[in-house]
Amino acid sequence: MKRLTGLMLVGLTVTSVQAANIVSYDFFGAPGNQASTAGASDFAQINVTPISRGAGLTATAAANSISASGWTGETSDWIGFSFDVQSGFTATLANFFFASRSSSTGPGFTAVRTSLDGFTSNVATIAQAPGANFVNNIVNLSGLGPITGTLEVRFYSDNTTSAGGGTVGANGTLRFGNYSPDGTTFTPFRIEGEVVPEPASLALLALGALAAIRRR
């Protein structure tokens, strides 16, 4: 009888996918006031939607970004994106890389929220730098757990305090762009992670491999 010890390992090797970009958006050359920016994924099992604004915001021009004013605290005041994980697979998220910049009367604190709890709690809170400077952020998303189906990620103004220390104004802006910790090298706005088959799918693959061996 043939030994089947390596069967499951073979299935994992063939069907697993290495860590890469779950989603990415490149804002280089974008005017800032575009309606949306298309996204991409390194994984065939991920479908990415464009990043866009909620209905409560107003598009504003700002090179190499997506930008908006009108951060008055309404539930429709957000910039966000989503992605769908193909049935039979799960996405495990790692780090989220992006840059953000607020005007002096724009939001002083940016909240990152997700559809997992209906956008009610903060996954992370970003303190925007005064003086209209970019903040380069790395947010660890591993605590969200394996993702199946659709996940939406949104940015909100966390409170009414502006980056300049006053109150967020109706004309205050907040923009998001590519990650650049040194200010000279830019990499896409992105979430890194991996996509793997769900356990049930792996079991089916193993059964198929077992049947193939038995037919030999």
Query: Which string of b and e fits 109-122 if b means at least 16 CB within 10 Å?
Result: bbbbbbeeeebeee
Residue 139 structural domain? 21-199
pLDDT at 3 over 60: no
Tally the domains of the chain. Answer: 1
- Domain assignment present for 158: yes
Instruction: Provide the whole-model pTM.
Output: 0.85
pLDDT at 193 over 60: yes
Q: Mean pLDDT over all residues of the chain?
A: 88
Q: How far apart are CA 21 and CA 170, in angstroms?
A: 35
Phi first, then psi: give them for residue 52, nearest 5 degrees: -150, 180
Give mean pLDDT, residues 11-15. Answer: 38
- Domain assignment present for 25: yes
Q: How far apart are CA 55 and CA 25, in angstroms?
A: 21
**pLDDT confidence bin for 131, thresholds 50/70/90:** confident
| pLDDT computed for residue 214 by the predictor | 52
- Domain assignment present for 109: yes
- Domain assignment present for 215: no
Q: How many CB atoms lie within 10 A of CB 17?
A: 17
| Short-list 35, 45, 90, CA closest to 68 | 35
Tokens representing 207 are: 């059964």
- Domain assignment present for 2: no
- Domain assignment present for 15: no
Mind listing the pLDDT tens digit for each residue in 72-118? 999 999 999 999 999 999 999 999 999 999 999 999 999 999 999 99
Q: Hey, what amino acid is at 208?
A: G
Helix (H), strand (E) at residue 84: strand 79-85
| pLDDT computed for residue 44 by the predictor | 97
Q: How far apart are CA 200 and CA 197, in angstroms?
A: 8
- Domain assignment present for 10: no
- Domain assignment present for 60: yes
CATH of the domain at 54: 2.60.120
